[in-house]
Amino acid sequence: MRLILTVTLALLTSVAAAQYKGKVFVDKNGNNTQEAGELGMQTVAVSDGQQVIRTDKDGNFNLPGHAKARFIFITVPAGYKLAAKHYLKIEDQRKSYDFGILPDPTSAGSSVKMLQITDTETDKYNDWIGNLKNFSKKQDISFIVHTGDICYEKGLNFHANQVTAETLGKQVFYCIGNHDLVKGAYGEELFEQLFGPVYYSFDAGPAHFIVTPMRSGDVQPSYTVDEVISWMKNDLAVTDKNKPVIIFNHDLLTYSDQFVLKGKNDSINLNELNLKAWVYGHWHNNFVRKSEKTGIQYISSASPSMGGIDNSAGQFLSIEIDKDGVKEIKPHYTYLHKHLVVNTPSGKDMVLIKDGALQINANIYDSETSVQAAKSIIYNEQGNKVAQASLTANTDWSWSGQIPVAKLSKGKTWTIQTEVTFKDGQQHIAKQEFSLKGQSAGLSLKWTNNVKGSIWKAKPLFAEGKLFTATIDDANNLLCGVTALDAKTGKVAWHFKTKNSVKHEISYDSGMILCTDMEGFTYALNAGTGVLVWKKDLGMKYLPGYVSGGIAEKGIYYTGSGAYFQALEVATGKTLWTNKEWTGGEGTPEKMTIAGEVIVTGSNWQSLFGHDRKTGKLLWQRRDDGLRFRSSTGVYKEGKLYITGLNTLLIIDPETGKNIDKIEAGYEFKVMATPLITDKYIVMPTAKNGVVAYDLKTLKEVWNRPAGNALVYSAPYTGPESGTVESTVVKYKNQLLFGASDGYLYVINEDSGIILQKLNLGAPVFADPALIGKELFVADFAGNVYAFKLN
Q: Outline where 440-480 has alpha helix (H).
A: none
Q: Same domain, yes or no, for 163 and 21? A: no
CB neighbour burial string for 145-183, b if at least 16 within 10 angstroms, e if fewer: bbbbbbbbeebbebbbeebbbebbebbbbbbbbbbbbbe
Q: Same domain, yes or no, for 741 and 784? A: yes
Contact 316, 116 (CB under 8 A): yes
Answer whether residue 5 shows pLDDT above 80: no
Percent of the chain as helix, strand, coil, to the nearest 5 = 10, 40, 50
Q: What is the CATH number of the domain that holds 763?
A: 2.40.128.630
Work out the number of other CB atoms within 10 angstroms of the CB of residue 79: 18
Domain final residue pick, 333, 354, 373: 333
Question: What is the C-alpha to C-alpha distance for residues 502 and 519, in angstroms, rounded to an integer?
Answer: 9
Answer whether residue 16 shows pLDDT above 90: no
Q: What is the CATH number of the domain that holds 151?
A: 3.60.21.10
Q: Same domain, yes or no, for 313 and 400? A: no
Answer whether residue 18 shows pLDDT above 70: no
pTM: 0.95
Q: Same domain, yes or no, for 289 and 375? A: no
Q: Same domain, yes or no, for 315 and 178? A: yes
Give the chain's domain count: 4
Residue type, 785: V
Whether 762 is covered by a domain: the verdict is: yes
Q: How many residues does the chain have?
A: 791
Whether 465 is covered by a domain: the verdict is: no
Q: Same domain, yes or no, for 215 and 319? A: yes
* Predicted pLDDT at 437: 76
Contact 141, 368 (CB under 8 A): no
| Average pLDDT of the residues in 467-491 | 97
pLDDT, tens only, 227-254: 999 999 999 999 999 999 999 999 999 9
What is the sign of the dihedral through the CA atoms of 181, 626, 474 and 720?
Answer: positive
Contact 515, 522 (CB under 8 A): yes
Answer whether residue 14 shows pLDDT above 50: no
pLDDT, tens only, 150-177: 999 999 999 999 999 999 999 999 999 9
Contact 513, 525 (CB under 8 A): yes
Domain final residue pick, 404, 435, 466: 435
User: CA angle, corner 688, sides to 623 and 753, nearest 5?
Assistant: 110
Work out the number of other CB atoms within 10 angstroms of the CB of residue 124: 13
User: CA angle, corner 689, sides to 595 and 547, nearest 5?
Assistant: 45
Residue (of 199, 196, 264) closest to 234 by Cα position? 199
Show the domain range for 699.
Answer: 676-791
| Average pLDDT of the residues in 455-465 | 98
Answer whether residue 201 shows pLDDT above 90: yes
Supply the mean pLDDT for the chain: 95
Whether 183 is covered by a domain: the verdict is: yes
DSSP structural state of residue 312: P
Contact 507, 552 (CB under 8 A): yes
Through-space distance between the first and last CA atoms of the chain, rounded to whole angstroms: 106
* Predicted pLDDT at 438: 72
Q: Same domain, yes or no, for 398 and 423? A: yes
Phi, psi (rounded to 5 degrees) for 346 = -155, 125
pLDDT, tens only, 338-350: 999 999 999 988 9
Query: How is 252-286 classified by DSSP, letter by letter?
Result: -S-SSS--EEE-SS-EEEGGGGTEEEEEE-SS-S-
* Predicted pLDDT at 410: 77
Work out the number of other CB atoms within 10 angstroms of the CB of residue 623: 13
* Predicted pLDDT at 13: 40
Answer whether residue 601 shows pLDDT above 60: yes
Q: What is the CATH number of the domain that holds 348?
A: 2.60.40.10
Q: Same domain, yes or no, for 373 and 409? A: yes
pLDDT, tens only, 611-646: 999 999 999 999 999 999 999 999 999 999 999 999
Whether 455 is covered by a domain: the verdict is: no
Whether 10 is covered by a domain: the verdict is: yes
| Average pLDDT of the residues in 69-96 | 95
Whether 764 is covered by a domain: the verdict is: yes
Q: Outline where 139-184 has alpha helix (H).
A: 152-162, 165-168
Domain final residue pick, 312, 333, 354: 333
pLDDT, tens only, 22-71: 999 999 898 888 988 899 999 999 999 999 999 999 999 999 999 999 99
Question: What is the C-alpha to C-alpha distance for residues 270 and 245, in angstroms, rounded to an integer?
Answer: 9
| Percent of the chain residues past pLDDT 70, beyond the cut | 98
Contacts of 13 (CB under 8 A, 6+ apart): none
Query: How is 413-429 classified by DSSP, letter by letter?
Result: EEEEEEEEEETTS-EEE
Whether 380 is covered by a domain: the verdict is: yes
Q: Same domain, yes or no, for 179 and 111? A: yes
Whether 629 is covered by a domain: the verdict is: no
CA distances to 643, 674, 723 from 633, rounded to whole Å, are 7, 5, 20
Q: Same domain, yes or no, for 89 and 119? A: no
The enclosing H or E element of 549 equals none
* Predicted pLDDT at 575: 98
Q: Same domain, yes or no, for 90 and 112? A: no
Q: Same domain, yes or no, for 217 and 252? A: yes
* Predicted pLDDT at 32: 84
* Predicted pLDDT at 316: 98
| Average pLDDT of the residues in 767-782 | 98
Question: What is the C-alpha to C-alpha distance for residues 327 and 556, in angstroms, rounded to an integer?
Answer: 40
